[in-house]
């Protein structure tokens, strides 16, 4: 359910963000991140505090997030993951790395240092502000490249085709090996003798144990994911809020605000007899892969599921909704209802009567031969005068759900 953002709610959000920022800055300062020589020491292999603190925070947050997901307390699909722009990201990382080495700070730590009254931190923070302004003024010159090599929402477990539990365990093990290597480097290069407190040892031991146990616990199944959202979504099905009229699908096809993806979940034989021209055939087993593909795509997309009637499409809708795909709808009455309006354009399509009730997943139409998409009814011409009666018969139901925006970014 969406709640209107009143001014009181907005100010509460600002207060929470402010308190989190203060706490984050305090932790960075207590970790020594307000001292440029300590931060720069990372690159000279003399002080590995940055690696230990940042990777410690990363793996702790990662383990907690995915345990919450596995327990059903958190919907990972609602967490914003920054889209991957490969080459701009590499170049930007190199620029930031060079600046980090020269100035001794990254953007976040420079503000922490400035807040503690250090002049080098203040000058670096002013440089950050100047760089932001310069980038904003010159970005149109390289806009196309800046948004090139877009891989959308990309995660390691998707890249390597593993479960998130296995990938979490691997990342934590790699991080612990890096901690061991960082201690070794500090002893050999920095002349230090790193000592881990009992609290730190217990903490990282518990994180490692939780990470190794996560793959054994397993990921929630589609049925379990659906059970979490069923109370809200079943109400939408009962009210038929997500069943759209053929006329609305026609309008969506030509709506420039979003792209329309039609997934036909019927058997291949029925699909070959007749299908909407811009529809993709998808078996039920293909839906998880479609869900991943749709969620990675940065374009605003409306998905419409189609079956002969709408029962099979409803089951497919439950799967995609459970997997976190937004803006999913069902063609009301399916292909049978579609042809009620558009079959008159093709003398090769004939109605037939069915016994056993109307709401069956059987075609109510006969075809002289398999037409596929070679029929005027597969892609009707949007002649609004001819379809005036059709367009007056439905109330629009498509309500666009915009993807969540970034809540923050940058380094510590």
Give the predicted TM-score (pTM) of the model.
0.69
**pLDDT at position 406:** 47
**What CATH number has the domain spanning 223-391?**
3.40.250.10
- Nearest CA to 372 out of 272, 263, 267, 276 is that of 272
Question: Where are the domains positioned within the chain?
Answer: 7-220, 223-391
pLDDT of amino acid 82: 84
Element (H, E) at 70: helix 49-71
CA-CA-CA-CA torsion sign (8, 12, 13, 15): positive
Chain centroid offset of residue 280 CA: 22
Q: What is the pLDDT of residue 408?
A: 47
Q: Are 274 and 377 a contacting pair, CB within 8 Å?
A: yes
Burial class from Cβ neighbours inside 10 Å (0-12, 13-18, 19+) for residue 159 reads exposed
Taking the chain (412 residues) in runs of 10, the rounded mean pLDDT of each run is: 56 88 89 88 88 90 92 78 90 91 90 91 93 93 91 84 91 93 89 84 90 89 88 93 92 88 95 94 93 82 95 96 92 93 87 64 90 91 59 78 55 52
Q: Which residues contact 67 (CB under 8 A, 6 or more apart)?
A: 210, 214, 217
């Amino acid at each position: 359910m969406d709640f209107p953002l009143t001014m009181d709610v907005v100010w509460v959000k600002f207060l929470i963000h402010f308190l989190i920022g203060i706490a984050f800055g305090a932790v960075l300062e207590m970790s020594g991140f307000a001292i440029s020589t300590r931060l720069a020491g990372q690159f000279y292999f003399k002080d590995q505090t940055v690696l230990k603190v940042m990777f410690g925070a990363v793996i702790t947050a990662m383990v907690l997030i995915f345990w919450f997901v596995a327990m059903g307390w958190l919907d990972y699909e609602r967490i914003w993951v920054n889209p991957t722009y490969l080459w701009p990201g590499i170049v930007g990382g190199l620029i930031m790395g060079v600046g980090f080495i020269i100035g001794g700070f990254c953007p976040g730590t420079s503000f922490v240092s400035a807040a503690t009254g250090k002049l080098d931190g203040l000058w670096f923070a002013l440089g950050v502000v100047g760089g932001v302004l310069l980038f904003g003024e010159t970005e149109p010159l390289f806009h196309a490249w800046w948004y090139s090599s877009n891989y959308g929402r990309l995660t390691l477990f998707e890249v390597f085709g593993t479960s998130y539990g296995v990938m979490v365990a691997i990342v934590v093990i790699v991080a612990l090996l890096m901690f061991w290597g960082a201690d070794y480097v500090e002893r050999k290069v920095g002349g230090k003798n790193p000592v881990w407190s009992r609290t730190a040892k217990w903490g990282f031991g518990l994180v490692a144990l939780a990470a190794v146990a996560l793959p054994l616990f397993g990921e929630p199944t589609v049925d379990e994911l659906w059970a979490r959202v069923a109370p809200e979504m079943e109400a939408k099905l009962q009210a038929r809020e997500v069943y759209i009229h053929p006329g609305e699908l026609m309008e969506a096809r030509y709506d420039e605000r979003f792209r329309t993806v039609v997934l036909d979940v019927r058997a291949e034989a029925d699909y070959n007899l007749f299908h909407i021209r811009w529809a993709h055939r998808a078996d039920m087993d293909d839906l998880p892969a479609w869900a991943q593909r749709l969620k990675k795509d940065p374009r605003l997309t409306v998905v419409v599921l189609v079956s002969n009637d709408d029962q099979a499409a409803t089951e497919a809708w439950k799967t995609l909704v459970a997997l976190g795909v937004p803006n999913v709808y069902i063609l009301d009455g399916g292909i049978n209802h579609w042809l009620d309006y558009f079959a008159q354009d093709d003398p090769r399509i004939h109605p037939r009567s069915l016994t056993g009730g109307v709401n069956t997943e059987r075609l109510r139409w006969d075809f002289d031969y398999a037409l596929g998409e070679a029929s005027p009814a597969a892609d009707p011409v949007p002649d609004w005068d001819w379809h005036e009666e059709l367009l007056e018969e439905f109330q629009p139901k498509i309500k666009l759900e915009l993807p969540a925006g970034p809540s923050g970014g940058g380094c510590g």
